[in-house]
Amino acid sequence: MPSFDTVCEPNMVEVRNAVDTSAKEIGTRFDFKGTSAAIELKDKEITMFGDAEFQLTQVEDILRNKLTKRNVDVRFLDIGKVEKIGGDKVKQVVKVKNGIETEDAKKITRLIKDSKIKVQASIQGDAVRVNGAKRDDLQAAMALLRKDMTELPLSFDNFRD
C-alpha cells in the first residue's frame, strides 16, 4: 500500500554552517566592533547576544540571511523573548523546531480526513504517516498539506509504492 511520511526536520548541518558564518560576519563587521554581539549554537538552540535589542535584531537578520542562502527554511526558528543578562547586555534564545508537535499533527490528520481524499493519516511519534490505495491520492494529499499548512515547513519522506 503506497504511503509517505510528513515530517518537519531541518538540515542541522546547514543550520550549523549558517550560525558559523553568521558568527564570522559579526566578528568582522565594523558596526559590531567593541560590542558583545555574538551568536552560538548548542544542540538545537541558537543563542544571540548583544548590547541592546536593536543589536539582537541585526544579529537575527544576519542569521536569517545566512539560513536562506543555505536553503534552510526560516520557519524552523522559534524565536524566544529577549532576556537581560548582567549590566546592559541582553540575550535571546532561538529554538530550532524539529518534529511535528502533537497539536499540529492532529491538525494535519483532521485536515486530511475533512478533505474527503481517500487516504488515511496516522500520527507516528513526531511524524504523520499517510496511506492510500493510489499514488494520485497521496500526491493530492501532499498538495493539500503544502497549500493549507503554511505555518510549518513540512517535507515528505519515505515515499513507498
- Amino acid code (one letter) for 95: K
Instruction: Please write the tens of the pLDDT for every residue from 49-58.
Output: 999 889 999 9
Residue 4 has pLDDT above 80, yes or no: yes
Instruction: Please write the tens of the pLDDT for every residue from 122-134.
Output: 998 889 999 998 8
Q: Structure pTM?
A: 0.82
Residue 1 has pLDDT above 90, yes or no: no
Residue 161 has pLDDT above 80, yes or no: no
Instruction: Please write the tens of the pLDDT for every residue from 75-123.
Output: 899 999 999 988 889 999 999 988 888 898 999 999 999 988 899 999 9
Instruction: Return d(Cα 58, Cα 26) in angstroms, integer.
Output: 10
Number of Cβ atoms within 10 Å of the Cβ of 149? 17
So what's the pLDDT on residue 25? Answer: 94
Instruction: Return d(Cα 101, Cα 86) in angstroms, integer.
Output: 34
